Chain A
Amino acid sequence: MNKKNIIICRCEDVSLHDLHQVLSEGYTDFETIKRIIRVGMGPCQANTCGLLVQREIAKFLNIPLNQVPQQKVRPLISGVKMSSIVEASKDES
């Protein structure tokens, strides 16, 4: 199957081809790859692509999966509307 048609990150529409391209340019850690091709930066925050990216890095570097660090997890846990945050903060005061 054409690697351009295999989607790794659904949120940011990143293909396996894009991922292999950036790996071949010498960027082999999750944090740097994320910043260059945006894998894991969308609404699901790498819940879908995280393991896939980790596995491709492990394969590329020929190291065990558990030696590939995952990306830093940042708040929020899931997307929340700004209006909901404004409403909720009113209740607090």
Chain B
Amino acid sequence: MKANIVIIGGGIGGVSIAYNLAKKGMKDIVVLDDNYMTGGATGRCGAGVRQQWKSKMNCILAKKSVEFFEKAQEELGYHRDVEFKQEGYLIVATTKEEHEQFIKNVALQNSLGIPSKICTPKEAKKIVPHLNTKDVISAAFCNTDGHLNPFLMTDAYYVAAKRLGVTFFYKEKVLDIIVKDGKIDKVVTENKEIYTNKVVNAAGSYAKEIGDLAGVDIPVYSENHQILVTEPIETIQGPMVISFSKNIYCQQVPHGSFLMGRSDKNAAHDHDISSSHEFLDEMCKTAVDLLPPLANLRVVRSWGGSYNLSPDRQPIIGDTDQLEGYYMACGFSGHGFMFAPVTGDLLSDIILDLPSEIDKNYLHIDRFKNMKETDFETSVV
């Protein structure tokens, strides 16, 4: 078969790129994914959307994405509820360095129109009454941050993109990308050969491998991040609570269950997504210390998923001089779900050569040739 463009990866990034390309008039778009829908990082993520970042670009990307999420249900014409809630992110500072950094972050965020603020421990306790403020110096809070159901948000894009004529093949593994005379010729899968001269790498944790298939070198790696979920209870916590220093994010989703995760500094750079008892122990200790009433909740399930990390912990979105017709949206460093709307909008503009409000050079892969031009994002759990 033939296609104008083949998107590799049918997670939230791939479906958003497909939807935006189709909306802007492109025909014959094919999306390939080796797994079931949301079987990769999208379906394994913490389901949060936040605008409180240290880097200006991440703030801009997040704000634009939240603006889309606020109208996503209507724009995509989805028949199920994507479970969008805006009850904020409360990010607690437990060290002097964090406290000082959050003051700078909030000033930057406010200058970009993000309504975050610094709270005293007492104010933080008003927002989350069961918060243990023993170690809390201050907290940053933004009431328009929130939550979305990653499965249903992806399905919403998928259904809308299909309506616009996009063709999807799930459980269809890409084996090779054939390049002839410096141009993309075709994408070979287990069952198909698709002739195309444009490919988008939206392969999440396998972005590096999908780059290698076409001889494009992408400086990203993947590592396992684990999450656990509890039984559901009545609503007691509105915002997501985060601490970078204590290594925890924890929210109560609209369904009623608590979802929480933390990172492992010693995680190998590979595609491991297994669950460990070490995670379970450390996660429960941290959560019960910071949010004591959670002690009474039963853990129902745990799982792992991959962060795909870029050198500056910000996404890589754009084309590359390594191969004509090759585009990428990868290296989201754990935040691909919440940045998906702006990713699809921006990359479709780049592919269709349309003007964009966002500085394309900032997110281009070439920035790593001269790393000091970008600021390293540290607001990552």
Measured CB to CB, the residues of A under 8 A from B are 29, 31-32, 35-36, 38, 41-43, 45, 74-76, 79-83, 85-86, 88-89, 92
Contacts and interface: CB of A to CB of B under 8 A. Distances in A.
B299 A76 contact: yes
Contacts of B284: 82, 85-86, 89
A31 B36 contact: yes
Nearest to A81: B298
A85 B302 contact: no
24 contacts: A31-B39, A32-B36, A32-B38, A36-B80, A38-B255, A42-B231, A43-B231, A45-B301, A75-B280, A76-B280, A79-B231, A79-B298, A79-B300, A81-B296, A81-B298, A81-B299, A82-B284, A82-B288, A82-B294, A82-B296, A82-B298, A85-B284, A86-B288, A89-B284
A82 B287 contact: yes
Interface of B: 36-39, 43, 80, 151-152, 155, 230-231, 255, 275, 280-281, 284-285, 287-288, 294-303
Nearest to B276: A75
B300 A45 contact: yes
B37 A32 contact: yes
A69 to B, nearest CB: 10
B275 A75 contact: yes
Given A75-B275, A75-B301, 7 more contacts: A43-B300, A74-B301, A82-B288, A85-B280, A86-B284, A88-B281, A89-B281
Given A32-B36, A32-B37, A85 B43 contact: no
A78 to B, nearest CB: 9
Contact of B298 (A35, A43, A89, A92): A43
Given A45-B301, A76-B300, A83 B36 contact: no
A40 B375 CA distance: 43
A89 B285 CA distance: 9
Given A74-B275, A83-B288, A36 B151 contact: yes
Contact of B300 (A29, A36, A42): A42
A35 B295 contact: no
A42 to B, nearest CB: 7
A36 B230 CA distance: 19
Please name the 3 residue pairs, one residue from A and one from B, whose CB atoms are nearest each other, closest first: A79-B298, A83-B295, A35-B151
A34 to B, nearest CB: 9
Contacts of A31: 36, 39
Given A43-B231, A89-B284, A81 B295 contact: yes
Contact of B299 (A29, A41, A42, A79): A79
Contacts of B300: 42-43, 45, 76, 79
A86 B302 contact: no
B299 A35 contact: no
Contact of A35 (B43, B288, B297): B43
Contact of A36 (B152, B288, B302): B152
Greatest chain A CB density within 10 A among B275, B299, B300, B302 is at B300
Contacts of B287: 82
Contacts of A38: 255
A85 B152 contact: no
Contact of B38 (A35, A76, A92): A35
Contacts of B294: 82
Greatest chain A CB density within 10 A among B38, B280, B281, B301 is at B301
Greatest chain B CB density within 10 A among A41, A79, A81, A85 is at A85
B80 A76 contact: no
B36 A29 contact: yes
Contact of B155 (A29, A36, A42, A82): A36
A89 B288 CA distance: 13
A75 B297 CA distance: 16
Contact of A80 (B80, B288, B298): B298
A82 B280 CA distance: 9
A88 B294 CA distance: 16
B233 to A, nearest CB: 12
A79 B233 CA distance: 14
B230 to A, nearest CB: 7
Nearest to B159: A25
